[in-house]
A and B are shown apart, each in its own frame.
Chain A
Amino acid sequence: AQSVSQHNHHVILSEAASLELGCNYSYGGTVNLFWYVQYPGQHLQLLLKYFSGDPLVKGIKGFEAEFIKSKFSFNLRKPSVQWSDTAEYFCAVAYYSGGYQKVTFGTGTKLQVIP
């Protein structure tokens, strides 16, 4: 199985601080990249995705992520976090293996935003 690394397990920020969550993956071929978010007590939901084209993708709620192919990275950013961004964030990579497209998730980063 391919691996997806999220460097920070738990991040604590004050409101209005900038956020960057790291994500690196190991697969050398073509990938689709995702960030999902899980707010407390809610379903996992898609934040943003990259398939092709502009490596800077914008998602919901002011989040963006940049795909850097040479670094196998897809870091998530937000210029100014809000208390409502408190959640767990998961990076995911879709790739083809054995004729099927598989998806591997990272271990998640818990973000706590302090008012």
Chain B
Amino acid sequence: DVKVTQSSRYLVKRTGEKVFLECVQDMDHENMFWYRQDPGLGLRLIYFSYDVKMKEKGDIPEGYSVSREKKERFSLILESASTNQTSMYLCASRLPPGQGSNEQFFGPGTRLTVL
């Protein structure tokens, strides 16, 4: 079974803090993704990475950055947290297109509250 784990289920931070959200997958997937999930807005892609050291902006990258130093780990960084970044953050991984089912496997999510 593919397993995608996220470092925290719940996190409370203060405005202006630097926040790190960690995601680890154990299935040797090249592709990894960070989404935020908000009521009525569905999942919106923040950043994705097709391989180690590679990153691409998604649809809403402003206020975020990412790091992918190792294949299994993809970190989302909020450089200076703001209240509008209060959300559920989901990490996902998959094999590259054409190499498998193309299904994304999701972690349990981190519910971040910024006060």
Contacts and interface: CB of A to CB of B under 8 A. Distances in A.
Interface of A: 1, 6, 9, 32, 34, 36, 43-46, 49, 51, 90, 92, 94, 100-108
B40 A103 contact: no
Nearest to A1: B59
B32 to A, nearest CB: 12
Given A1-B59, A90-B42, A100-B56, A44 B106 contact: yes
5 contacts: A44-B43, A45-B106, A92-B104, A107-B42, A108-B42
Interface residues of B, number: 24
B40 A101 contact: no
Interface of B is mostly: loop
A106 B41 CA distance: 8
A89 B33 CA distance: 19
A49 B106 contact: no
Contact of B103 (A9, A49, A90, A106): A49
Contacts of B35: 105
A19 B7 CA distance: 37
A107 B40 contact: yes
Contact of B102 (A6, A9, A94): A94
A108 B88 CA distance: 15
B50 A51 contact: no
B50 A100 contact: yes
